Structure 1
Amino acid sequence: MSEQDFQKATFAGGCFWCMVKPFDTQPGIISVVSGYTGGHTVNPTYEEVCSETTGHTEAVQITFDPEIISYKDLVEVYWRQTDPTDAGGQFADRGSSYRPVIFYHSEEQRQIAEASKLALQNSGRFKEPIVTMIEPAEPFYPAETYHQDFYKKNPAHYSRYSRGSGRVNFVESVWQGK
């Protein structure tokens, strides 16, 4: 398969540090880039995005081989990293820059994401409504180098943060054994 056959998937689920590893460890993943999308500022900085003035959301953009892992499978990995009932941010990270969003790159991705969201809502796993937005992909701006592959570069800090934010306990309690 050539590089032109790879596809992109973009997901926002709170702090991008915590969104890389779950995808990066899947077969068929070519790359996972932390960055910003969905806003109006060109090439925003981390400080600008955190100021909640850019309209951007922290996200990860994944390049994947659809012959090895499907977009549907990536959406399922996504759900298991987030609290899809919390539109105000994720875990300890609050504000619109941490909101949960699936950014679709094609009509097929939109349909897969919508069907998956409906199935999750109908599953009864969550008592509250599923509020994760599904929006068209917009320009994606990679984050600063120190944010890339944070879980590999700073494993102790990553572990403390992912647990301290409440994400690990939530994921374990909601998805354990799933």
Structure 2
Amino acid sequence: MVKPFDRYEGVISVVSGYTGGDVENPTYELVCTNTTGHREAVQITFDDEIISYEELLSIFWRQIDPTDAGGQFFDRGESYRTAIFTHTEEQNELALKSKQELEASGKFDKSIQTDILPAKPFYAAEEGHQDYYLKNPSHYNRYAVGSGREHFKSEHWSEDK
């Protein structure tokens, strides 16, 4: 989820990591056991004078299968379930509104499963997970195509390109 946000003006940083659980300083291996309550996530720092929270939400929705309650594409389990972690009441309201609008749009034939949750402490992932798409472009691109992510995005969002 770093790559989709990295290219927008106003996005200051995108950090890969883990949030939503109760274990301090979790590792990738521990989070993947689906016993910590954490989900893989990105923490986005942005300048709201340049890019709005609503724009970030719109970008987010176009990267995922919001109807999949079991994970994302080849990645299965609780740690891969989609969620928007909000830091303020305004963010929560905007995230809920965007979810309701997507649900009402009829774009998907199944209900939206993405959770809207209050933010918990965020833990940066190990260095090898930061900017993965830049460090391992061949693997990243093979996964995007092979997992079905690119096809899904094209199928559901092609008219918005």
TM-score by length of 2: 0.97
* Aligned positions of 1:71-82 closer than 5 A: 71-82=53-64
Alpha-carbon distance between aligned partners in 1 of 2:104 and 2:89, rounded to the nearest angstrom? 22
Identity %: 62
Alpha-carbon distance between aligned partners in 1 of 2:26 and 2:88, rounded to the nearest angstrom? 25
Range 111-120 or range 158-167, more displaced: 158-167
1:94 counterpart = 2:94: no
Q: Which runs of 5+ in 1 are unaligned?
A: 1-18
Aligned residue type for 2:111: P
TM-score by length of 1: 0.88
Of 109, 123, 130, which aligns to 1:127?
A: 109
Alpha-carbon distance between aligned partners in 2 of 1:45 and 1:133, rounded to the nearest angstrom? 22
Of 90, 99, 120, which aligns to 1:108?
A: 90
Please report how far the alpha carbon of residue 166 of structure 1 lies from its aligned counterpart in structure 2 after TM superposition: 1.2
Alpha-carbon distance between aligned partners in 2 of 1:52 and 1:119, rounded to the nearest angstrom? 30
1:60 counterpart = 2:42: yes
1:166 counterpart = 2:148: yes
Alpha-carbon distance between aligned partners in 1 of 2:110 and 2:94, rounded to the nearest angstrom? 22
Alpha-carbon RMSD: 0.7
Please report how far the alpha carbon of residue 177 of structure 1 lies from its aligned counterpart in structure 2 after TM superposition: 2.8
- How many pairs were matched up? 160
Q: In the TM superposition, what whole-angstrom CA distance separates every residue of 1:41-74 from its partner, at most 9, and x where no partner exists?
A: 1001110011111111000000000000000000
Corresponding residue SS for 1:55: coil
Corresponding residue SS for 1:176: helix
Of 140, 143, 158, which aligns to 2:125?
A: 143
Range 28-37 or range 160-169, more displaced: 160-169
Dislocated runs of 4+, deviation >3 Å:
none
Please report how far the alpha carbon of residue 127 of structure 1 lies from its aligned counterpart in structure 2 after TM superposition: 1.2
Aligned twin of 2:135: 153
Aligned twin of 2:16: 34
